[in-house]
Amino acid sequence: MHDVQDGFRLIVFDWDGTLMDSEARIVDCLRRAAEAAGLPALPAERLREVIGLSLDGAFARLYPEAGAATRARLAEAYREEFLHRNPTPSRLFPGARELLSRLHAGGRLLAVATGKARRGLDRVLAETGLGRYLHASRCADETASKPSPRMLHEILDELAVAPEQALMVGDTDYDLEMARAAGVAAVGVTHGVHDAERLRRHRPLALVPDLHALDRWLAGPAAAVS
């Protein structure tokens, strides 16, 4: 097992489902966007499956019959709903603020790689105040969507960090598959979208139930929950 204390310079976090408990809001916004476009309703379980992908990728999976123009309308309806209309609350998971603050104070490089659009990420970073701790970020509307490794490659290049010096933390298949493709180690957090069995297939260094457990793991791998 890779010892964080003598190896990882950079820790890259997914956002939705990893640092922020936004599943209910995303699912409701996906549902309302489809409704506005006159497309059939899908069960919540289907909608939550695509959390972590770009909007175009998500709607392509949900509605494979939809063409590019329809997916663009769906994406715009989703953004309007998420940014301006939807009242469903999204909150940081317990321990998120303290974890990033401690890691930043300890000299770690921190980044976010997310399926959110840049406008959405910048908004939540400003609202939560977590932007002050980040050295880099990549969003799905400015590079290739997960599970492509391009997000991680770009972050590594920007911060001049080798893949073996980086750790990806995420809650979905897409996060862990992206990390493997980029040659980056990963830890799965099971309080998000995909369950432990699904995450374990990607052979992460550890699976942890929440950010408090992640904090303990980062302080010493012997305390990992796997």
Q: Residue 83: what pLDDT?
A: 84
> Which one is catalytic: 3, 6, 14, 28?
14
Can you tell me which residue has the tokens 């922020």? Answer: 20
Q: Residue 138: what pLDDT?
A: 98
The model's pLDDT over 19-42, given as tens digits with 9 standing for 90+, comes to: 999 999 999 999 999 999 999 999
pTM: 0.88
Give the per-residue SS3 of the chain.
CCCHHHCCCEEEECCECCCEECHHHHHHHHHHHHHHCCCCCCCHHHHHHCECECHHHHHHHHCCCCCHHHHHHHHHHHHHHHHHHCCCCCEECCCHHHHHHHHHHCCCEEEEEECCCHHHHHHHHHHHCHHHHCCEEEECCCCCCCCCCHHHHHHHHHHCCCHHHEEEEECCHHHHHHHHHHCCEEEEECCCCCCHHHHHCCCCCEEECCHHHHHHHHHCHHHCCC
**Is residue 173 annotated as a catalytic residue, yes or no?**
no
Ordered per-residue pLDDT tens for the chain, 226 residues = 344 444 699 999 999 999 999 999 999 999 999 999 999 999 999 999 999 889 999 999 999 999 999 999 999 999 999 888 888 888 999 999 999 999 999 999 999 999 999 999 999 999 999 999 999 999 999 999 999 999 999 999 999 999 999 999 999 999 999 999 999 999 999 999 999 999 999 999 999 999 999 999 998 754 333 3
Task: Identify any residues that bridge with 189 across adjacent strands, giving them in sequence order.
Answer: 208
The model's pLDDT over 89-112, given as tens digits with 9 standing for 90+, comes to: 889 999 999 999 999 999 999 999
What the chain holds in terms of domains, given with CATH numbers, is 4-21+91-223 (3.40.50.1000), 23-85 (1.10.150)
Q: Residue 167: what pLDDT?
A: 98
